[in-house]
Structure 1
Amino acid sequence: MRALVLVPVLTRARAASEDAPRSAQRVSLHSPEDRLAESTGLAEAIDLDVAEARLVSVPQPRPATLFGSGKVEEIADLVKDEDVGLVIVDHTISPVQQRNLERAWNAKVLDRTGLILEIFGRRARTREGRLQVELAHLSYQKGRLVRAWTHLERQRGGRGFLGGPGEAQIELDRRMLDERIIAIRRELEGVVRTRELHRKGRRKVPYPVVAIVGYTNAGKSTLFNRLTQAGVMAMDQVFATLDPTMREVRLGSGRRIILSDTVGFISDLPTQLVAAFRATLEEVIGADLVLHVRDIAHSETDAQAVDVEHVLRDLGVETDAASGPILEVWNKVDLLSPVTREEAQAAARFRSHKPVLISAASGDGLDRLLARIDARLGAADEIVSVRVPASEGRLVAWLHENAEVIARETQDDGTLDVRVRIASEKKQRLLNALGRAGLTPNV
């Protein structure tokens, strides 16, 4: 389908209508040009043929159409000339505005929230993902239902318990939506219970959970694949990953972690999606460490970082670099010029939280990243020295498998002096293994 992408540029920092949510009233930190490029990418993510993408100045938002009458007519001519069947308005528009614009342009109109919901609907692969997207879509439709049918109520009224056809249709649609929403929530409750059982199982092991978050297309899945050798789909496309994936990774200290790849964030992420995907994002909420992956080569990297932090705060995750569980990962350094790369390295050194510069595509810097993850998770690690007889080969193998061997020295009689760094949660297992062998550690 041929599509037209429009990005309204409001010259006054106020919402287009009283119906706009509070999230839409926040002043965007992204430039209009970046919003236009992002909106075009969103449209292309669902295989739309973008006939044209343009910025549209809106000096005074109109309650009925958002755009002024002259601009509406101009766009109507463009829609007709380009044979456009879908117009994407990168802004929150009310049901009344949507209906009026569709009539004026004789084409389907989608706002930013509706477009993102369409993309999520295509990207969901698992049953859980599809349920979450459907819940978000139904919640979105329900919120727009009342005003969408007001034109029918005006056509024929009713009194008492016998309403007009518009009122009857509203009640019918609302009841159907409510019933489906309740059914989906019940199914998702089962998903939440299953996930909690899995989390309890991991806590018994226990393996720390490291969650990867970031703006969409920041390179999260590429990094995940590099670290885990997994085959997660990684494409130069927004929302390439929707359903969460988890894999085990062994660090240099012998510590095993669970690495979790999550859905990408985006500016003005619809509140319906944040609510619907809360079960999935609980892996982020309960993570021991959160890797905030940033596309450092993107011109809007700082604005994207602010958007991600906003969503994390909404989820209840502490985003303060000094006290929170956040480790910033500056990705795509391979796309920087030598001069810009040196500037980024200098900037990272002066940051209090010391971000890690990497290229997930080439593998540059991944050893440093794994070492930083190990160090952050190993703040409570302990150093243990033990003398192992030559006959205890299995114990030596266990030490190499479960701890970081700092030093080892073989004596003349074959006895091995080993010094290891071990996670505090594994120390008791080491003591038990030594006790069975009749050995005593030197802490």
Structure 2
Amino acid sequence: MFVNDCLNINEKGHLTIGGCDTVELAKEYGTPLYVLDENTIRTTCRSYVESFKKFYNGNGMPLYASKALSCKELCRIANEEHLGLDVVSGGEIYTAQQAGFPMEKTHFHGNNKTAAEIEFALNAGVGTFVVDNLYELELLNEIAGKLVKKAKISFRIKPGVDAHTHNFIRTGQIDSKFGFALETGEAFEAVKKALEYENVNLAELHCHIGSQIFDIDPFVTAAEIMMDFIGKIKDELGVTISNLNLGGGFGIMYVNSDEPVPYENYMEKVSVAVKAKAAEHNVPVPYIFIEPGRSIVGEAGITLYTVGGIKEIPNIRTYVSVDGGMTDNIRYALYQSDYTVVNASHADKEATQTVTVAGKCCESGDLVQEHTQVAPVTVGDTLAVLSTGAYNYSMASNYNRIPRPAIVMVNNGKSRVIVKRESYEDIVRNDI
């Protein structure tokens, strides 16, 4: 019935998540409110870990892409479930550090790491730097030398694969701000350059072809291209690359028409391709990394709102205003992303009313979803937007000086706050 398995309907007709009544959660913690189901998160983490055991003999590790949702509790869960961590900024490194995450299990991404971030990461003991360009390679080598450290590096490669997704989230093609291109010879020249530097150790190649992908074939093609490149490096430079990071981008279900691929199917097909190419090029099967983020937390999360004003414009649309909006979910404004909206107060009723869910910001584009079907709505109802665990809190803002919501974790009927709601005092904390 729902896109999320952790959701249900109780005897009151209310939507539940992880055994908790969402209407009661809204009363207890206030709205807007992000809610995550811990069991769903941990189950997905374990499925990835098990897939490595099954298809790679344990010769690999999933890295949680913390840009999807970075907070201390998610770092702790990732560590407890034997995942590494993909970080993309000094702030994400600091969060992991404060959570006690083992830094040797982190990969540091980014197309424009600052000198300060690089130095901080080196001193923090970050495991692998995913180098994006020659300027960064030179800068990293220089800073590592000054600190008398040797940085383990990976090169982000553009394999030129069309991921069949939104233009803004396709990152594997040649026209991308990320990485080194294969077609132009840029990637091979970068490898040769890295071998000349004393303070870096090239141990890995990385690619990422996009996000919210439902087709396995692009992943297989990218893996084959990357293995061919590993073969070329061995044949022409006599260097064996021991690690291969195939990125993330696995699609999830936002609406019932979405058809995500079971993650185990992806791992199986890609492992066949990797092993075949390793044999073809007479190289060892590399240690494999992947970077799931959205698929770990996306479907595990929902956002709760309280309905305020309802404005019916005859023969045009009905606006249902909520107490959140683009400050806690910018994805509709950016990508026109589809979401499932449920009247959590009347989840047992048929969705017969067509509404546009509008946010409270002073911005005409502040919409959460347009022309969506919900059970008839009245002022004071609790609305739930499903599959908001990824890229909602992490992209939230204080536009209009609106405080960011709290995040509550639920598990088998119990709830706890893992990120506190911001106060007005938090808003002005850095003002002078």
Which category of TM-score, normalised to the shorter sequence, fits these structures?
under 0.3
**Which is richer in helix?**
1
Q: With structure 2 as the length reference, what TM-score do the two structures score?
A: 0.24
**Which is richer in strand?**
2
Q: With structure 1 as the length reference, what TM-score do the two structures score?
A: 0.24
Structure of higher RCO (CA pairs closer than 8 Å, 6+ residues apart): 2
